[in-house]
Amino acid sequence: MAQTKRRLEFEIKVDGEPYVWRIQRQPQWSSDAAGWRGMAIAVRHLEGQREAVLEFPAAPPPRRGTPLLQPGQIPPKVVAKAIASAIAAGWEPLSRGKTVAIMVDETGG
């Protein structure tokens, strides 16, 4: 049986504009951040190159043996709200430049 390739990037529309997002970082322990770090997703406009990394707050530590977070477990409304929050915070997706890191809350706001 052939193994199917999983998609790594997912399309979403926010205010009529097409964006592509992917999981950048799983929730993880970090000694330099003094504890757990939350998930982060990388987002870019479908026609642009500049990415934004949207960092979510740390959730309670997962229990031992918990499977990794899958993109299908992240509600599209949360991703859309996080993208809108990044734009409101000054991210210009169609401009050129370095990747921007933006903190959002657990609801994407």
List, for residues 13-72, the tens digit of each pLDDT value.
999 999 999 988 887 777 775 677 888 999 999 999 899 999 988 877 667 766 666 777
Position with higher pLDDT, 5 vs 49 = 49
Rounded distance, CA 46 to CA 100, Å? Answer: 17
Can you give the residue ranges of every domain in the chain? 10-60+71-103
Q: In the prediction, which pLDDT does 71 show? A: 73
Prediction pTM value = 0.82
b vs e for 29-55, b when ≥16 Cβ sit within 10 Å of the residue's Cβ? eeeeeeeebbbbbbbbbeeeebbbbbb
Q: Which two tokens stand for residue 69?
A: 């977070």
